[in-house]
């Protein structure tokens, strides 16, 4: 297969590996999550490999798991995303900088300012991963006794998006004339006061930052629930929603792009990039052996805690070697819950087996040689399972270096991945248009 289609690649880098055993792998940097010199080398290696973006997930609380599991987790300490990405912007030139920011426990004005600042500091490389936070411990950190109900979180998120993007449009692109002779810094006719008053939010504006270089930072969504897919179809330009196999990927791809088409959006204006763990070996058997050893580094305490977190329900009191019981509806993220239940039913797994899978990594994985991994990625691209992937590395630095040094050249050889960046901004590299200002008809030349 070959043609004009091009893969887009993000790197999922917070935690630096999604795999619970990653920090224990031989040769790995145990404190990589919280090691700035290491993170600097990682992002520069990704930029060498022409990756589109460096993506930081985020949590607003220490993960709510039993202390016996928490003490084994390398995610317990990580940098705040904007602080880290601003620092990394100074040591890179092309790679996108995408951070998660919650619509549930933050204020739109804060979010708008932070991303506008990051976009200017980086020269137009910022991206906002819109999330609604499902974590009861996060609620307790922000003055609430319990988390906000699932669908309510998404309704607030939709209004939140309108406010943030409206704030980014506070100034026309050419508002800042900086006429030294006349002493006029900006044209007041090119300043818009938002005056938003909605069901959930009241924000006057304007934003006290010039319009972002990209117009708006890239809008990223990760939800796979019904509400999440609809929000993605309405707002997202990149979607990191999970798809555990090609058939699931095709269904997700068709669903979100179909919803976008139905509301008048160009389906090509949304890039679907499911997360994929990539483990590279000289042979398929070698790669599989790496995976088996990596999974063996996950303690059962971690596995059962991860399973409970994914389900939003505590199953540790049931027989570990029995089947998963009926799980009642909860306020947890719906997509992760349903995915785990489906996995248990499909493979007839016991609680112990399911905990091992969920506690290590139970999602999409490409485990093989550079050639077999490229084969699978090419198939996903040409059969409309995805527009690319948000790559997760099994351990660092080795897993990252293997992908950049071995898989990327194979993708380039096949003509399905760039050899040089197409532009200066994240939007340009993804082939996405710069949004017009909704309040002013001016544009940058």
Instruction: Write out the binding residues.
Output: 58, 100, 150, 154, 225
List the structure tokens of 186: 């900006």
List the structure tokens of 143: 């003055």
Interatomic CA distance for residues 417 and 328, integer angstroms: 44
Under DSSP, the state recorded for 406 is I
CA geometry: angle 392, 397, 402, nearest 5 deg: 70
List the structure tokens of 397: 């630095």
Interatomic CA distance for residues 37 and 58, integer angstroms: 20
Interatomic CA distance for residues 217 and 169, integer angstroms: 11
Total Cβ atoms within 10 A of residue 204: 11
Helix/strand/coil for 190? helix
Contact 95, 44 (CB under 8 A): no
* Residues making up the binding site for FMN: 58, 100, 150, 154, 225
Under DSSP, the state recorded for 189 is G
Q: Which helix (DSSP H) or strand (DSSP E) does residue 238 occupy?
A: strand 238-239
Interatomic CA distance for residues 199 and 360, integer angstroms: 41
Q: Which helix (DSSP H) or strand (DSSP E) does residue 112 occupy?
A: helix 108-122
Q: Which of 404, 396, 310 is nearest to 19 (CA)?
A: 396
Interatomic CA distance for residues 438 and 192, integer angstroms: 10
Interatomic CA distance for residues 139 and 336, integer angstroms: 20
Torsion sign across C-alpha atoms 19, 340, 319, 134: positive
Q: Which of 221, 240, 244, 245 is nearest to 232 (CA)?
A: 221
Q: Which of 94, 86, 84 is nearest to 116 (CA)?
A: 86
Bridge-based pairing of strands 238-239 and 218-221 is parallel
CA geometry: angle 161, 205, 106, nearest 5 deg: 45
List the structure tokens of 224: 């796979």
List the structure tokens of 403: 């992908």
Whether cis (ω within 30° of 0) applies to the bond prior to 42 is no
Phi, psi for residue 239 in degrees, rounded to 5:
-125, 125
Bridge-based pairing of strands 196-197 and 202-203 is antiparallel
């Amino acid at each position: 297969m070959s043609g004009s289609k091009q893969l887009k690649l993000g790197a999922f880098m917070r935690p630096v590996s999604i795999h619970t055993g990653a920090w224990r792998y031989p040769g790995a940097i145990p404190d990589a999550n919280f090691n700035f010199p290491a993170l600097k080398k990682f992002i520069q290696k990704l930029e060498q490999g022409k990756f589109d973006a460096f993506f930081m997930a985020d949590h607003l609380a220490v993960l709510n798991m039993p202390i016996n599991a928490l003490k084994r987790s390398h995610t317990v300490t990580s940098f705040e995303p904007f602080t880290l990405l601003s620092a990394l912007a100074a040591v890179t030139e092309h790679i996108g900088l995408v951070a998660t920011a919650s619509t549930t426990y933050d204020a739109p004005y804060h979010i708008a300012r932070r991303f506008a600042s990051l976009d200017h500091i980086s020269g137009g490389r910022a991206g906002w991963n819109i999330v609604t936070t499902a974590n009861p411990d996060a609620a307790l950190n922000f003055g609430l006794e319990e988390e906000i109900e699932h669908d309510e979180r998404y309704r607030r998120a939709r209004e939140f998006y309108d406010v943030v993007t409206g704030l980014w449009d506070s100034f026309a692109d050419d508002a800042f004339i900086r006429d030294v002779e006349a002493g006029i810094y900006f044209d007041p006719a090119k300043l818009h006061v938002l005056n938003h008053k909605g069901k959930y939010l009241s924000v006057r504006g304007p934003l006290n930052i010039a319009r972002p270089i990209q117009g708006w930072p890239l809008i990223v969504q990760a939800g796979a629930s019904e509400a999440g897919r609809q929000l993605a179809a309405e707002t997202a330009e990149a979607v990191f929603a999970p798809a555990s196999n090609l058939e699931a990927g095709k269904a997700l791809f068709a669903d979100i792009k179909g919803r976008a088409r139905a509301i008048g959006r160009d389906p090509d204006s949304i890039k679907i990039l499911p997360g994929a763990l990539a483990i590279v070996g000289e042979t398929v058997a070698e790669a599989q052996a790496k995976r088996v050893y990596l999974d063996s580094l996950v303690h059962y305490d971690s596995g059962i805690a991860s399973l409970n977190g994914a389900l939003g329900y505590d199953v540790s009191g049931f027989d570990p070697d029995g089947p998963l019981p009926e799980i009642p509806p909860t306020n947890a993220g719906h997509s992760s819950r349903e995915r785990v239940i489906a996995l248990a039913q499909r493979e007839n797994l016991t609680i112990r087996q399911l905990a091992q899978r969920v506690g290590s990594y139970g999602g999409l994985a490409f485990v093989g040689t550079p050639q077999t991994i490229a084969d699978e990625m090419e198939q996903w691209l040409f059969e409309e399972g995805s527009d690319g992937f948000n790559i997760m590395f099994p351990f660092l630095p080795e897993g990252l270096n293997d992908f950049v040094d071995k898989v990327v050249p194979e993708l380039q050889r096949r003509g399905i991945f760039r050899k040089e960046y197409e532009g200066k901004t994240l939007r340009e590299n993804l082939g996405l248009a710069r949004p017009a200002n909704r309040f002013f008809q001016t544009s940058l030349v």
